[in-house]
Amino acid sequence: MTPSSEIKIVRQKAFLTQTEFARELSVSYTTVNRWETGKARPNLAAMKSIKEFCGKNGIDYSPLEAAWIDSTVIKD
């Protein structure tokens, strides 16, 4: 899976709109939208916020973490 699809899954598991999810993470709606469409990736600070959100809401963070790490690896 990709980070964008995993972020969407996290948001949907919490039954939140993109706007509500953005508010929870203290980012803009457009930021969440860009993450979910693959036009941008969360930076490390955002990933920490998402991890904290997942912990508070009982959502497994590991698939998103693995996808994010995999997307940062430079491939030949």
pLDDT tens for each residue of 13-49: 999 999 999 999 999 999 999 999 999 999 999 999 9
**pLDDT given at position 75:** 62
Residue 67: how many CB atoms within 10 A of its CB?
19
71 confidence band (pLDDT: 50, 70, 90): confident
pTM for the structure as a whole? 0.90
Q: Please give the Cα distance from 46 to 49 (Å, whole number).
A: 5
Q: Tell me the pLDDT tens digit for each residue of 54-66.
A: 999 999 999 999 9
